[in-house]
Amino acid sequence: MVGNLLLRGMLAGLLAGILVFAFAHAFGEPLVDAAIAFEEASAQAAGEAAEPEIVSRATQAGPGLFIGVMAYSIAVGGLFALAFAFVHGRVSNLSARGTSAVIAIFAFVAIVLVPAFKYPANPPAVGNAETIGVRTELFFLMIVVSLAALTAAVALSRRLSERFGHWNGAIIAGIAYLVFIGLVLYLLPPINEVPENFSAMVLWRFRTTTLAMHAILWATLGLGFGVLAEKRLAAEGGQRSRPATALR
């Protein structure tokens, strides 16, 4: 069963990857080109030599983007299926589609939305090359902390629901999650390396486009995998009921 769900998660990731690539190629790559043009103009104004182009922009925006997006989406789809296999029927009584949708929403909030509040995505020409290691570590730390806090909030909600009811338990746990995340966002060091003359419109559109790409990914996984998993689980249930029916 887990293997079948894993395959379906990867298929949902494949579909999500195609949609994300189409969106990124249409709306994201023009913003990357604008940021690169700004970077080249700044270097020329400073009298710096142009860096050699190891990989052409056509390759980066075409095959390179497609391979990267597809590999990431399929891998995330597989992990999504494993998370579904662990959660479904254990944490709640939701249907397969409901469980899939809830996992996708929680994952988008914990992995994408919360870290983006503190460390949003930046286009080329934004960010100091000397601090890339620190910035990467802080970003992944934010993801780990957010996921751990969300897991703790779900466990707290289940415990509180026994005393205060499901809705009240979920609300209290949600407030606790927001308070904790707010404290973490306050304590972690801020990073602002945007050049003063960089286009605010390009920066804003790049960050919103990045969020939209993740939203497409998780929405497709949540909805698409839910349909595939529901059909597989229904078929599995039908196969198990047939011997008992035949004996009657």
Q: Residue 66, exposed/middle/buried by CB under 10 A (0-12, 13-18, 19+)?
A: middle
Q: 135 to each of 122, 140, 211, 244, how far by Cα in Å?
A: 11, 9, 18, 59
Residue 82 has pLDDT above 80, yes or no: yes
The pair of structure tokens assigned to 8 is 């379906």
pLDDT grade for 239, boundaries at 50, 70 and 90: low
How many other C-beta atoms lie within 10 A of the C-beta of residue 211? 16
Residue 232 has pLDDT above 80, yes or no: no
- Euclidean distance between CA atoms 115 and 118, whole angstroms: 6
* Average pLDDT value for the chain: 87
What is the average pLDDT across 217-246? 74
Q: What is the pLDDT of residue 46?
A: 64
Percent of the chain with pLDDT over 70: 91
Mean pLDDT of 22-49: 84
- Within 8 A by CB and 6+ apart from 91, the residues are 99, 154, 158
**How long, in residues, is the chain?**
248
Residue 202 predicted with pLDDT over 50: yes
Is residue 246's pLDDT more than 50? no
Alpha-carbon span 208 to 12, nearest angstrom: 24
- CA 218 from chain center: how many Å? 6
Q: Under DSSP, is residue 74 helix (H, G, I), strand (E, B) or coil?
A: helix
pLDDT of residue 158 exceeding 50 = yes
169 Cβ contact partners less than 8 Å away, ≥ 6 residues apart? 156, 157, 158, 159, 160, 161, 162, 163
- The residue-averaged pLDDT of 103-119 equals 94
Q: Is the pLDDT of residue 120 over 70?
A: yes
Biggest CA-to-CA distance, the chain: 87
231: pLDDT strictly greater than 60: yes
CA atoms of 159 and 168, how far apart (whole Å): 11
pLDDT given for residue 245 in this prediction: 43
Whether the predicted pLDDT of 51 surpasses 70: no
- Give the residue-averaged pLDDT of 109-120: 93
69, pLDDT greater than 90: yes
Tokens linked to 92: 């709640």
Per-residue confidence at 248, pLDDT binned at 50, 70, 90? very low
Residue by residue, what is the 3-state secondary structure of 135-189?
HHHHHHHHHHHHHHHHHHHHHHHHHHHHHHCHHHHHHHHHHHHHHHHHHHHHHCC
Please say whether the beta carbons of 127 and 164 come within 8 A: no
What six digits make up the tokens of 244? Answer: 């008992």
Give me the percent of the chain exceeding a pLDDT of 90.
55
At residue 241, the pLDDT reads 46
- pTM for the predicted model, two decimal places: 0.87
Q: In the predicted model, is pLDDT for residue 65 greater than 70?
A: yes
**Comparing 123 with 129, which gets the higher pLDDT?**
123
CA–CA separation, 129 vs 23, rounded Å? 28
Q: What mean pLDDT comes out for the span 64-68?
A: 95
Q: Give the span between the Cα atoms of 190 and 49, in whole angstroms.
A: 31
Cβ neighbour number for residue 107 with a 10 Å cutoff: 22
- Residue 247: its pLDDT value, please? 35
